[in-house]
């Protein structure tokens, strides 16, 4: 009969415990690393989103995000004005008879000069756009309302199949006194420089005084829409090109004057 040797298995429990502990610590370390990496990724993503948003809105205004809030104390006068160059991007607006001169370009040219002239006077300016980009009417109104602006000025150029000419300024159809004052001051400023015809302050919407331009209807502050001559009139185009700097300077003075007359600016701080 074959002899069999009995083999005894010895379990070193202290070693098992140490190995198990090391395994648990490794698992915890891996889990913590995963959580940390996920948190870092989420933070980076959030930062990237903010940077992207800043890049988009920064194209509208060099000083403030389009829907951000400005500090009025940054203004020497405490006056905040939204300058709204009409159209932009795919919305070209009116054209001259050749179709090569675009309203969106003229309004931006004048808008940028108006911004500079206002800032020279110590006014805080928010642009609804400062490049050739699309901005909806809702967004334009939101820029003004969310920043609690004091005044809103929308710049446009007119067109007509009847060879009309001259400058006019549009206000809400309920004829608010504050808006009318702003509009009249701006129109007087344009006339003082030189326009082919003073077409006066108009109320409502072209062809229908029972409705309003959205930028007048849905802004919470005194506002107006300025039609700086007709794109379809050669004389108006010549006047625009020759006088654009003077238009901007005199419009800026008129806007500041309106701020003083409306009690938005202390007359003792008026640069005039």
Q: What is the pLDDT of residues 98-121, one digit of tens each?
A: 999 999 999 999 999 999 999 999
Confidence at 32, pLDDT banded by 50, 70, 90: low
State mean pLDDT over 33-59.
39
pLDDT of residue 41: 42
State mean pLDDT over 181-208.
97
List of E strands, 16-159: 80-85, 124-127, 151-158
Mark 29-42 as b/e (b = at least 16 C-beta within 10 Å): eeeeeeeeeeeeee
Mark 131-162 as b/e (b = at least 16 C-beta within 10 Å): ebbebebeebbbbbbbbebbbbbbbbbbbeee
For residue 238, which phi and psi values (nearest 5 degrees)?
-65, -45
Distance between CA atoms of residues 179 and 255, nearest Å: 11
Question: Hunting for tokens 């756009």 — which residue is that?
Answer: 129
pLDDT of residue 77: 85
The answer to whether residues 189 and 251 touch, using CB atoms and an 8 Å cutoff, is yes
Check pLDDT > 90 for residue 131. yes
Confidence at 204, pLDDT banded by 50, 70, 90: very high
pLDDT of residue 138: 98
CA Rg, the chain, in Å? 32
pLDDT of residue 111: 98
The answer to whether residues 271 and 121 touch, using CB atoms and an 8 Å cutoff, is yes
The torsion angle over the Cα atoms of residues 175, 179, 181 and 182, rounded to 10 degrees, is: -150
Across the chain, mean pLDDT equals 82
DSSP state of 147: T
Distance between CA atoms of residues 254 and 69, nearest Å: 25
Beta-bridge partner residues of 261: none
Q: What are the distances in angstroms from CA 142 to CA 52, 86, 102, 128, 182?
A: 20, 15, 25, 9, 20
pLDDT of residue 91: 98
State mean pLDDT over 12-22.
59
Alpha helices by DSSP H, 59-176: 103-120, 137-146
Report pTM: 0.73
pLDDT of residue 68: 36
Distance between CA atoms of residues 196 and 174, nearest Å: 28
Q: In what order do the strands lie in the sheet with 80-85?
A: 124-127, 80-85, 151-158, 223-230, 167-171, 198-203
């Amino acid at each position: 009969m074959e002899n069999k040797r009995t083999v005894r298995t010895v379990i070193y429990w202290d070693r098992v415990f140490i190995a198990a502990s090391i395994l648990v610590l490794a698992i915890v370390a891996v889990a913590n690393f995963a959580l940390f990496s996920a948190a870092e990724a989420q933070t980076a993503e959030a930062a990237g989103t903010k940077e992207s948003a800043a890049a988009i809105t920064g194209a509208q205004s060099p000083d403030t995000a389009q829907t951000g809030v400005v500090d009025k104390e940054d203004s020497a006068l405490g006056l905040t004005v939204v300058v709204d160059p009409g159209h932009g991007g795919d919305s070209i607006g009116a054209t001259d008879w050749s179709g090569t001169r675009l309203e969106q370009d003229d309004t931006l040219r004048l808008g940028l000069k108006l911004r500079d002239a206002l800032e020279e006077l110590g006014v805080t300016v928010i642009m609804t756009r400062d490049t050739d980009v699309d901005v909806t009417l809702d967004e334009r109104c939101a820029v003004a309302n969310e920043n609690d602006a004091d005044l809103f000025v929308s710049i446009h150029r007119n067109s007509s199949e009847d060879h009309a000419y001259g400058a006019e300024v549009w206000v809400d159809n309920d004829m608010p006194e504050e808006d009318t004052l702003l509009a009249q001051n701006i129109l007087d400023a344009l006339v003082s420089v030189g326009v082919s015809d003073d077409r006066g302050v108009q109320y409502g919407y072209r062809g229908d005084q029972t409705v309003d331009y959205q930028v007048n209807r849905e802004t919470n502050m005194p506002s107006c829409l300025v039609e700086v001559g007709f794109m379809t009139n050669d004389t108006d185009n010549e006047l625009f090109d020759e006088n654009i700097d003077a238009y901007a300077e005199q419009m800026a003075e008129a806007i500041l004057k309106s701020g003083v007359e409306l009690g938005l600016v202390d007359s003792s701080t008026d640069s005039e």
